[in-house]
Structure 1
């Protein structure tokens, strides 16, 4: 019996190292990344609004094309990042509400832009 009490006291005295600075920072980043992705969605909505209100005349058409290209690249990269972040958050057991909303918004905006492009350009 003496040996069982000594083993339980030695097990209780084992020191478990705390989380490092990097793991705490990574956890904070992972928790807040969904909100950063929603911020990207807001930025894309503003850029989209600006693109739809630009009048196409002379160099305005080139500017409009650049806006659409920048929007497409940001939306594509944002969608890939949102899918990766959401999968990583699920793997770590965090809430995925914000990142899931970001995925839905990015898909909806992308589908809307594609539909607009098809109606105004390709199906004309």
Structure 2
């Protein structure tokens, strides 16, 4: 309606790129019925807006990991419009991985997570 993407859409992009990476490179299985595999809960998020993106331009996203903790991962995402090298939005969030039954943080992230995440540090 205002000729640009709504700010909430960027958070959708953040979530999509982060979870796509976790699924493809870290072994995350969001459809698993296994009640012993940790699940990620978003505990903080933020975004800084620098320019507007608009339809029908192609959107690109860049992902990096800023911190790997015992049970947490902090992500940084840049959203770019078309071939523009200046980000429209830079933001991201922090996951804390918890036991799906108790909702308490895990003692350590799975080894497959660490191996996949270290590629983006």
- Asked if these proteins are the same fold (TM beyond 0.5), I'd say no
Instruction: Report the TM-score, using the length of structure 2 for normalisation.
Output: 0.28
Instruction: Report the TM-score, using the length of structure 1 for normalisation.
Output: 0.28
Query: Whose helix fraction is larger, Structure 1's or Structure 2's?
Result: 1
Query: Which of structures 1 and 2 has the bigger CA Rg?
Result: 1
